[in-house]
Structure 1
Amino acid sequence: MAPKPPPPPPPHVIIFPFPAQGHVNAMLKLTELLLPAGLHITYLITAKDHRSLTTRLNHPGFQFHVIQGLYEGPMDTGDKLSVMIDCLTEITTPLLRNLIIGNPVISCVIADGIMDFALAAAEGTGVPVVFFRTVSACAFWAYFSIQDLINSGELPFEGTNLDERIVNVKGMEGFLRRRDLPSFCRSGLSNRTLQQVSSITRRAPDADAIILNTFDDLEGPIVSQIQKHCPNIYTIGPLHAHLKSRSTSKSTSSNSLFEEDKTCIGWLDRQPPKSVLYVSFGSIATVTRDQLLEFWYGLVNSKKRFLWVIREDLVSSNDDKSKVPSELEEGTKERGYLVGWAPQEDVLAHPAVCAFLTHNGWNSTLESIIAGVPMISWPFFADQQINSRFVEAVWKLGLDMKDTCNRTTVVRIVNEVMEVRKDEFTESANQMAKLAMKSVREGGSSYCNLDRLIEDIKTMSIQCKDK
């Protein structure tokens, strides 16, 4: 009897995130969701991010491929973001192509959607490219619509009236203002980041599919707008909740690029229920010293308890970092706790936390939604402006204080969310949290879409072998 032929190799996927905390975090969580399905994954990561990862995936089907020689500076401005995009395009397009050509079992590439050069790298190989957009669907759609705003004359805009209505982003006509557009839309059409992001996003229909870290009950109407141009979309979020719902373990890796100070959990344990404002502006946002002090005075003067993440590089490097006023130090000792980085999912899930003062990065926004925690929004740049508008005007999950930073406003908004309208926002947040959890449980929309994605990847593997 002839020996049985060896079993075919498992589908092999290349996953390539943009090198920033939120992107790396989200795509590692996607990796953890795909591995139990028997897929093999090569995860491309920069040397800097690989050094910084506080946890490592340990799975026989997983490997890191570390990329050397990329820009390792900050990305807290549009110009610096453009530097990274240019550097990635130049260095990793040939690298990615060589990986695809040199490995005949590659089934597909899942690339961060901001890196459209993946299409060029895979061109002519027969290997499908799937874009994972780590921003919200509403931000992606706003990016996609930039050219429509230019064609209609809504961009560039003149004058100082940022509250004028924007009417040529389909599905947002009733509530979108100039100030809610991505931050780079305020700088004129010559802005490099605006040009890059608009051009890259318009290439999304060239990909074989789009993955979005969202769920249908949250952004279904906007996803429907996107599907007119990109019909094959997998909404599989919130990823961190989806991962927990499918995991047999009660603990999952944090995927953080920062060392977490878990002493804050002990401090939270000593606070009354629903009494603490959690404050974090994410991994990239910076503030001036004056802004820092205005926030600090506002937090202390609000008389609320607060847990505040103050990264080493939170204050702009060219700003004076002299001694903090004594009244702020005393007020913080009474009611506040400061850390360099926090285990955010655990913090938001803690019963002592009442609200979240956030920059509205998409991972932070989803983590707040899953935890049922109302938000106070102070966006920094890019997608965060539009996320914050949806938090207030569409989802009714909190208040948006973009473009303002003074202690009086901070006190007023904190008291509005944590006292005056506390019950209203808590009820709304709890309802959305229930819908989010429903989506990632068996039979839910995100759960079914992930299963569909896995089956489609396996089909891609068969089709690649037949070529």
Structure 2
Amino acid sequence: MNQRNNHRVVLFPLPLQGHINPMLQLGQILHARGFSITILHTNFNAPDPSSHPHFTFRSIACGLHRSEVSMSDIPDLISLLNTQCASPFEEHLREMMSLPGGDAVPIACVISDSLFSFTCGVAERLKVRALVLLTGGATSLHVYTILRLLKEKGYFSIDGLSGSRSEEAVKEFPSLLVRDIPGVHSQKPEMVLELFDNMIKVIKSSPGVIFNTFEELEQPALASVREVLSVPDFVIGPLHKCYVTSSSSSLLEEDRSCISWLDEQPLKSVIYVSFGSAAVVREAEILEIALGLANSKQPFLWVVRPRLVRDPEWLKKSPSHFLEALKRRGKLVKWAPQMKVLAHPAVGAFWTHSGWNSTLESISEGVPMLCMPRFSDQGVNARYVSDIWRVGVHLNGGLDRENIARAISTNLFIS
């Protein structure tokens, strides 16, 4: 650690797992360079202070409780957070600027999630420097900048996408198919468009944006968004590879028994399966996933977190074929230390929802991906993983057991 530099950075993450992780990783990097770190966070999905004892944590009351919030409607949740958090955020920032003692260390900068629409305005009023952190990729940001154009071109249809329309190439963004467009399948497309419109406005009006990516991966997209945004940018990812720590930012308890289980498996033999912290899988889908894993004949480590599937009794109802495969060569956990799993020599592939953190972590460890995007930027990420960067395959053929088994055992080249 460098000597403390008598300056504080205040970090304000969006209270979702995929947004908390990179923000705390950024905090680790800045702390290693001498800054004192204060994490300002909502009482909803609050991070665990004991995992980062060298940070100061301050909670703001946002009026939300997990039991009252539907994680299946992320745009609505983000809209609600922007409404509920603006005043408490300003109050706490004012308080931090006036408190005696440890928190009187001058605030050098506020760094907030790019999906918060109010933080830069508050910081400007209080004469505090402010930057925003983009927790997704530059390619998806490039797509967000043309979403209104895509709507004008008729890609967002009222009656939804059916038949072959979903498989059409996007003329304005030839790398993508129509079904890859963020929000195109949403029940509230206008809310999704407004959400990304606001994010673009926030970035354009900010003093600068931090990208969790690297030039070698996304140089064309970075060049495009630089032309559109015209703000200073700092490309410093992958954030998780820029520091060394045993701290965890997981909101769920990690089951580390999976590491000792992996120790017993052959080299590059295991497919690791995790669909992130927010996705929901229907009962019919989880049956096909289970039987696809059974039919693949590969060892598998599968994360089945709480609320991934609505039926808590799904495992008891699973076919004997899957239960036998689970007993012989599979392991289920509620949550896993993902970075350690992906770095393990027994892991040969990653079946993922294609969230940006998961994508970066898999690329960093050289683990090929099987992509099953669900919402938001995941369709863009999955398409680039499979068709542009060629570090994985897209589950194009549908979520049925034969297609899954074939994708795992043939296309991913697991020995």
Higher relative contact order (CA 8 A, sep 6+): 1
In structure 1, give the amino acid aligned to 2:174: G
- The aligned counterpart of 2:103 is none
1:362 has 2:356 as partner: yes
- The aligned counterpart of 1:64 is 57
CA-CA distance at 1:296 after TM superposition: 0.5
Whole-angstrom distance in 1 between the partners of 2:58 and 2:288:
44
Give the percent of matched residue pairs that are identical in Structure 1 and Structure 2.
36
CA-CA distance at 1:122 after TM superposition: 2.4
- The aligned counterpart of 2:112 is 111
CA-CA distance at 1:190 after TM superposition: 5.0
Deviation per CA, 1:120-158: give whole Å up to 9, x if none: 322433323211010111112212221222344444486
Q: Do the aligned partners of residues 235 and 402 (structure 1) sit closer, same or farther apart at CA in structure 2, a change above 3 Å counting?
A: farther
- The aligned counterpart of 1:332 is 326
CA-CA distance at 1:94 after TM superposition: 1.6
CA-CA distance at 1:16 after TM superposition: 0.5
Whole-angstrom distance in 2 between the partners of 1:71 and 1:13:
26
Equivalent residue in structure 2 for 1:95, among 85, 88, 102: 88
Alpha carbons 2:292, 2:400 under 8 Å: kept: yes
CA-CA distance at 1:354 after TM superposition: 0.6
CA-CA distance at 1:54 after TM superposition: 8.1
- The aligned counterpart of 1:165 is 169
1:23 has 2:22 as partner: no
Q: Do the aligned partners of residues 392 and 353 (structure 1) sit closer, same or farther apart at CA in structure 2, a change above 3 Å counting?
A: same
Whole-angstrom distance in 2 between the partners of 1:100 and 1:70:
18
Unaligned runs of 5+ in 2: 99-105
CA-CA distance at 1:403 after TM superposition: 7.8
Whole-angstrom distance in 2 between the partners of 1:207 and 1:233:
10
Whole-angstrom distance in 1 between the partners of 2:397 and 2:205:
36
Whole-angstrom distance in 1 between the partners of 2:261 and 2:188:
48
Q: Do the aligned partners of residues 189 and 68 (structure 1) sit closer, same or farther apart at CA in structure 2, a change above 3 Å counting?
A: closer
Alpha carbons 1:55, 1:256 under 8 Å: kept: no
Counterpart mapping for 1:50-449 below 5 A: 50=46, 53=48, 55-59=50-54, 62-73=55-66, 76-77=71-72, 80-102=73-95, 103=97, 105-156=106-157, 159-160=162-163, 161-168=165-172, 173-182=173-182, 184-187=183-186, 190-230=189-229, 231-244=231-244, 251-316=245-310, 323-401=317-395, 404-419=398-413
Q: Which moved more, 1:63-72 or 1:214-223?
A: 63-72
Equivalences, count:
398
CA-CA distance at 1:37 after TM superposition: 2.1
Whole-angstrom distance in 1 between the partners of 2:264 and 2:202:
51
Whole-angstrom distance in 1 between the partners of 2:311 and 2:134:
30
Whole-angstrom distance in 1 between the partners of 2:27 and 2:375:
27
Q: Do the aligned partners of residues 345 and 188 (structure 1) sit closer, same or farther apart at CA in structure 2, a change above 3 Å counting?
A: closer
In structure 2, give the amino acid aligned to 1:68: A
Q: Structure 2 length as normaliser, TM-score?
A: 0.89
CA-CA distance at 1:191 after TM superposition: 3.5
Q: Which moved more, 1:320-329 or 1:116-125?
A: 320-329
Alpha carbons 2:108, 2:128 under 8 Å: kept: yes
Whole-angstrom distance in 2 between the partners of 1:407 and 1:320:
17
Q: Do the aligned partners of residues 321 and 337 (structure 1) sit closer, same or farther apart at CA in structure 2, a change above 3 Å counting?
A: closer
Whole-angstrom distance in 2 between the partners of 1:65 and 1:144:
34
In structure 1, give the amino acid aligned to 2:175: F
Deviation per CA, 1:308-348: give whole Å up to 9, x if none: 11112110369977522222111111111111111111111
Q: Do the aligned partners of residues 318 and 261 (structure 1) sit closer, same or farther apart at CA in structure 2, a change above 3 Å counting?
A: closer
Q: Which moved more, 1:12-21 or 1:394-403?
A: 394-403
In structure 2, give the amino acid aligned to 1:368: S
CA RMSD of aligned residues (A): 2.4
CA-CA distance at 1:203 after TM superposition: 3.2
Q: Which moved more, 1:144-153 or 1:281-290?
A: 144-153
Shift >6 Å, 4+ stretches: 318-321
Q: Do the aligned partners of residues 327 and 153 (structure 1) sit closer, same or farther apart at CA in structure 2, a change above 3 Å counting?
A: closer
CA-CA distance at 1:239 after TM superposition: 0.8
CA-CA distance at 1:194 after TM superposition: 2.9
Q: Structure 1 length as normaliser, TM-score?
A: 0.80
Whole-angstrom distance in 2 between the partners of 1:63 and 1:83:
30
Unaligned runs of 5+ in 1: 1-7, 245-250, 424-467
Whole-angstrom distance in 1 between the partners of 2:188 and 2:282:
27
CA-CA distance at 1:72 after TM superposition: 3.0
Alpha carbons 2:120, 2:202 under 8 Å: kept: no
In structure 1, give the amino acid aligned to 2:283: R
Whole-angstrom distance in 1 between the partners of 2:327 and 2:347:
18
Whole-angstrom distance in 2 between the partners of 1:354 and 1:393:
20
In structure 1, give the amino acid aligned to 2:53: N
- The aligned counterpart of 1:3 is none
Counterpart mapping for 1:36-51 below 5 A: 36-50=32-46
CA-CA distance at 1:253 after TM superposition: 1.1
In structure 1, give the amino acid aligned to 2:63: L
Q: Which moved more, 1:311-320 or 1:118-127?
A: 311-320
Whole-angstrom distance in 1 between the partners of 2:201 and 2:313:
38
